[in-house]
Amino acid sequence: MKNLETARTRVEELRALIRENDRHYWLEAAPQISDQEYDRLYRELKDLEAEHPQLVTPDSPTQRVSGAPLEEFAQITHRTPMLSLDNTYSEAEVVEFFRRMIRLLPSETIRTVIEPKVDGVAISVFYKNGRLQYAATRGNGTVGDDVTQNVRTIRTIPYSLQGLAPDEVEIRGEVFFPKKAFRKVNEEREQAGESLFANPRNAAAGTLKQLDSRIAAARGLGVIFYGFGYYSGSELSSHQESLARLAEWGLPAPVKTWKAESPEAVIEAIKALDEIRHDLPYETDGAVVKVDDYQQREALGYTSKAPRWAIAYKYQAERAETQLLSIEVQVGRSGKLTPVANLSPVLLSGTTVSRATLHNGEEIKRKDIRVGDHVLIEKSGEIIPAVLEVVLARRTGHEKRFEMPSKCPSCGEPVVQTPGQIDVRCVNVECPEQVKRRLEHFAHRGAMDIEGLGTMMVAQLVERGLVRRVDHIYALDGEALGGLERMGKKSVRNLLDAIEASKKQPMWRLVFGLGILHVGATAARELGDFFGTLDALRKASLEELQKAPNTGDVVAQSIRDWFDNKDNQDLIEALRRHGLNFGKGEEAAKVDDRLEGKTWVITGTLSEPREVFADLIRSHGGRVAGSVSGKTDFLLAGEEAGSKMEKARSLNVRVVNEEEFRQLIG
């Protein structure tokens, strides 16, 4: 009984951990742990449930396909369920998988096809009479998000299939971020002062779930198709035949595959793929082994969430061993303290690594990481390497334990840790490191674009006590700047002119420059379009914020918390006194409230510029958004309305022309 209760407690802990990480991975496209760590938790849960069948429940993660449809998207029911694959990191388990199939089909030769496991996002596209009708994510396996408009921007997906195609066909594949496009996007984000995408897979997931298809179009996603969910034409007999059919229709399919009829041949194919996978244009994290013959697939059958005729072998993430020389704690612009490992330089994934993230103090304690330890670091498609584990066999006893500081390493003020949260923060708004990071962000080209206010200049201003808050830059004068290093008269004049010019920057740049948690450049643009003025945004309730495009509960709460902070309120008023652009002053220009609480999207060619109609909507109490979603009330459509019109109709959003709009506002 004691063992059962212990198992029950651990099962509940594992389910909670897995569900939390499912939420980060599927809904937020921001995983908190590595794939291998997630798989370890999942395997432990599966083993415990196998040992104690009475603990299995229908809602256990082992009984379901991970993921859930998002509320912002219309939903599509798949013709047949999109199941996930069982996976393993063990060659022995691949061999056992093959031998199990031999036991189930003892008198038959089992041919398998081995192909790259694309590290992307599962997608299902549906063609009717050869024309693309819709595309959906996996979702919960039965119902997924309608991402048709974003998928239409993928250039390798044809609107019409080539040659003869069945009346209806549902095609399964994987959307990915090409390596070159991923590097390009991260370079652009760095230039704009936005946080970098951690890896191509999560960036692809986030891109597919953008409400504005222009963002998806600009990022250049790719896709590989590998099979069918539904096929109304003459029966196909094998996986190889299916891949050939996809190629005939002009759909991208795996270029290189291997065939194997024995466990040993499968392992050889997996190793051959490992040798060439880094040359592929997309990230791969493993190999997929599938039975080729469809009749054999039917005979082998399915579990509740995965086919018995396929398995995914996942390659170990690239690792290297090195020594942890020291740990320094960095202070970000939000006050978050992040420990970073300084390492003895080591070659990993083609680059020399000398620093790695340690995430937080709790992670250091959990892994018992000490200064002087030899550690394994990992870089699996990630931008920043992470310390995976300690090589305990190399420990000498001279290593030193590390504790997160109780005082900020920058300003010396006590740090705080909110109950229930892992992050440790410095809450001193005048903390020098925070001020530096906030000022660098504020002045960045993607925000207020103040040329000359770079890292070196910011450091001088803060260290000499000339700037303790971002608004202080607007009080700088020639005398103060003239005393700084490398600041001649011309440099001083240029910097003062750039600071003055920044006062006229659009309101959305100011919103982005303020550095509100979770509000990047794209979100700031949408908030600017939606609310019109900084004062309207500042006064918006939580419910009103949630009506803005791409602003869910977390982002809305973050914005509300920021504006509720007394220090931030003082900052806003100081910026107002300096004459920065707070928007168009829609409250003063308000005519009436005929459109109060209504969200509008404008599309197509109208008799006047769109901004004229946006101003009219705001003057009558309405809001203007940049893209159609379930929160949209009206679409004002002119000539050549395009995809927004289709999206509005699919969501039953009321569409009005210019004449009807003018009647609505009287």
CA dist 19 → 15, 38, 67, 142 (Å): 6, 11, 9, 18
Identify the CA nearest to 387 among candidates 374, 404, 402: 374
Element (H, E) at 246: helix 239-248
Return the closest-CA partner of residue 201 out of 225, 222, 172: 222
- The total number of residues written for the chain in this structure: 666
> Do strands 415-416 and 425-426 pair parallel, antiparallel, or not at all (unpaired)?
antiparallel
Block residue for tokens 């009558």: 620
H runs (alpha helix) in 294-431? 294-300, 361-367
SS3 397: coil
Q: Mark out the alpha helices in 74-219 (DSSP H runs).
A: 91-104, 148-151, 179-191, 200-208, 213-219
Does an H or E element contain 417, and which? Answer: none
Cα Dmax for the chain = 92
Tokens of 529: 């379009």
117, 209, 314, 379: the active-site residue: 117
Q: Mention every residue, 6+ apart, whose C-beta is less than 8 A from residue 436.
A: 458, 459, 462
Whether 126 contacts 168, CB under 8 Å: yes
Residue 539 annotated as catalytic:
no
User: Taken in order 84, 301, 310, 46, is the CA torsion positive or negative?
Assistant: positive
- Give me the residues paired with residue 238 across strands: 293
Count CB-CB contacts under 10 A for residue 328.
Answer: 12
CA atoms within 13 Å, Cβ hemisphere of 305: 17
Helices H / strands E in the chain, number of each: 24, 24
Asked if residues 63 and 56 have their Cβ atoms less than 8 Å apart, the reply is: yes
Q: Which tokens belong to 47?
A: 């083993």
Residues with catalytic annotation?
A: 117
